[in-house]
Structure 1
Amino acid sequence: MGDVTETNVRFERRGALGHVILDRPKAINSLTLPMVTALRTQLREWADDGAVEVVAITGAGEKGLCAGGDVVSVRQALLDGDADAAMAFFDTEYDVDGLIGAYPKPVVAFMDGVCMGGGIGIAGHASLRIATERTKIAMPETKIGFFPDVGGLHLLASAPGELGTHLALTSSVATGADAVLLGVADVLVSSEAIPGILAGLESGEVPAPADLGSTTHPAPLEEDRAWIDACYTGDDAAAILTRLQEWDGEGAENAHAAAEAIAARSPFSVCVTLAALRRAATLGSLDAVLDQDRALAHAFGDEPDFREGVRALLVDKSNDPHWRHDSLADVPRSELPAPLA
């Protein structure tokens, strides 16, 4: 099958393998509307193609699988008054995430290098998720005045203890070993093993995670479990921040750094994220969480913090966002969008 270069996605057939290559390496394969539209179309076609027995997803270039969605373009569409175009990106992206999560054939995602935001949506719901020593995962949305979407809260709500809460609120970056601990990846392999694993998939046979590498590996986040589990309990974001600031036990330096990170994020986004994460834990399915994501994404189309956060971090790169609330305590529960309020 020929390349689909105009959409920055390539689709290749080798034996029984359908290979998706995200091909926008200068932007670490950040997803655009044409990319997710092409993905949705091709995945649907391969689902009905008896010659395709397994699908693999990789990213072009050396930096990673996918740095997320192209929120700069989404913000510009909103500024141009084209909310329909902005929301079409999220709606199509979530379609792809749900399609991967319920795919009738094995989907193998290679989370080598950067895998953040929309990259978690592409890889985190696959049937076999492979991390490497180069993997850097994150749901960094509170940095830009948004919330962890793409079904990411479905994964983080199921993580051990309060590890998922920590990553969701702080936008922290975690390692490949952490990804396995969190349940976002299934196995940790050497990045040098990827070509051989891909070649093996051409037969249509998908190996078990334990046959590829380590499924239990020392993870940096495990060392912080004591203060993370103690500080991130409950539904009150301001109380969580206070506990982190006042933590004086083992790991105090890391707890205080987490507090500084949360205090720098959009207060509205942090409060929405915590409420959405707690609700995701009760929803029980990826599709239900993606439905929540759709409702929240549409609400954030009118949210000033989203436009401001993208401006400060990704457009001007000034890192000086001016959030509309001064602190977490200033965000009334009544402001949370449906279905959280």
Structure 2
Amino acid sequence: MTPAEPEILFARKGAAGLVTLNRPQALNAVTLGMVRALTAQLEKWRNDLSVTRVVVTAAGGKAFSAGGDIRALYDAGTSGRHAEMLAFYGEEYVLNTIIKHYPKPYVSLIDGICMGGGVGVSAHGSHRVAGDRYLFAMPEVGIGFFPDVGATWFLPRMPGELGAYCALTGERFGAADGIAAGIATHRVASPRFTDLVEALCGTAPVDAMLAAFAAPTKDAASESKLAPHRSTIDRLFAGGRVEDILAALDADGGEFAQKAAATIRAKSPVALKIALAQVRKGKDLAFEACMATEFRIVSRVIHGHDFYEGVRAVIVDKDNAPKWQPAALAEVSDAEVARHFAPLPDGEWQPPELVRG
């Protein structure tokens, strides 16, 4: 890709507006420029009667989108440009909300990694198609951050305690588990994606086309990594405190529980407690309230320690040895968690006008 090539591409073909995430060298990580371009294009297509559906794909083959441009956000924060960080998150959350309420079918074809910001530009659309290489995760607690881009909405609405499991462990869901969790709506074999895009450019109903291309689901349970553990997850991840969940995992003592507990204990204690609070609070909140809640949280997190330490350990120095502050769950008070959810003194995040009301 030449330096001048756009980070996100738009095209019209037949009845479809086509979007291509186009940063394959960065696993299609979402930038502020991409957020702004997609927001503007969706508003144009909203009012274009000849566009009856939007289809989102990604270049490169390895990732739909591995998240937001975390390194750029880290650089901004460590140099004191917190307003720049908040501009990104505020506009990203507006885009997530526009997608959630988009009046036309919004079809994401997801083949490869889909995390963080990539989830934000796909999960809230009407149709989420998982290819053979589909890998969904919200691994933010591993870098001292929290599951955002609407995770406060969709995690609590996963069946049972899958949302709490996803938030606290950051484990990856394959296509079968993505369908089971409701984060993906259809399963289509990867080699058929090109033909599916062509079909979606016609005038036939989107649901009919997806049904025609959908892979058989009879073997989905055998492909699922989580299906054998669903009852265990629902039983052990039901606690109201991270400490309670870890105690339940330790008491169970099985291989799955031991692995989950070890995974959780490596994450940021502050981030873990925020994430579980999101899952518990979000089930009773409307979508826009979830987004406003996330903006409250991010407004505090960017002035904290663990996000920068997590990015340093995983992305910058790559020593994978973060020094969390505080280092233990017991040192993270309820008041400290509540502080992240408190109203903002300088004004709250506002949803876009088109979906407010």
TM-score w.r.t. length of structure 1: 0.94
Partners of 2:151 and 2:212 in 1: how far apart? 27
Q: Deviations over 1:303-332 (max 9, x none)?
A: 110111111111111101000022222210
Which residue of structure 2 aligns with residue 171 of structure 1?
170
Query: 1:174 Cα deviation (Å)?
Result: 1.0
Q: Is the 8 A contact 1:304 1:324 kept in 2?
A: yes
Match of 1:312 in 2: 313
SS in structure 2 at match of 1:123: coil
Looking at structure 1, the residues matched to 81 and 278 of structure 2 have their Cα atoms a distance apart, in angstroms, of 26
Q: Report the Cα offset of residue 340 of structure 1.
A: 6.2
Q: Match of 2:64, SS?
A: strand
Alignment of 1:1-341 (within 5 A): 7-205=6-204, 206-208=206-208, 209-213=210-214, 214=216, 217-218=220-221, 219-248=224-253, 252-283=254-285, 285-336=286-337, 337-339=339-341
Take 1:13 and 1:204, find their aligned partners in 2: how far apart are those partners? 13
RMSD: 1.6
Cα deviation, residue 6, structure 1: 5.4
Size of the alignment, in residue pairs? Answer: 334
- Relative to structure 1, the CA distance from residue 340 to residue 158 in structure 2 (aligned partners, 3 Å threshold; closer, same or farther) is farther
Give yes or no for contact 2:152–2:291 (8 Å, CA) kept in 1: no
Distance, in Å, in 1 between the alignment partners of 2:71 and 2:58 is 20
Provide closer, same or farther for how the CA distance between residues 340 and 157 of structure 1 changes in structure 2, counting only shifts above 3 A.
Answer: farther
Decide whether aligned partners of structure 1 residues 254 and 82 sit closer, same or farther in structure 2, where only a CA change above 3 A counts: same
Q: Equivalents in 2 of 1:93, 1:215: separation in Å?
A: 34
Corresponding residue SS for 1:108: strand
After superposition, the Cα gap between the structure-2 partners of 1:340 and 1:212, relative to the gap in structure 1 and judged at 3 Å, is: farther
CA shift, 1:202, in A, is: 1.0
Q: Counterpart amino acid of 2:200?
A: L
- The DSSP-based 3-state class of the residue aligned with 2:284 is helix
- Change in Cα spacing, 1:81 to 1:233, as seen in structure 2 (3 Å) is same
For residue 212 of structure 1, report the CA deviation from its aligned partner. Answer: 3.0
Flag as ranges the 4+ runs of structure 1 deviating above 4 A.
Answer: 4-7
State whether residues 169 and 274 of structure 1, in contact with CA within 8 Å, keep that contact through their aligned partners in structure 2: yes
User: SS where residue 207 of structure 2 aligns?
Assistant: coil
1:215 CA displacement: 5.7
Shift of 1:298: 1.0
Where do 5+ consecutive residues of structure 2 fail to align?
Answer: 344-357
Measured in 1, the distance between the counterparts of 2:197 and 2:26 equals 24
Structure 2 length as normaliser, TM-score?
A: 0.90
Q: What is the distance in 2 between the residues matched to 1:127 and 1:233? A: 29
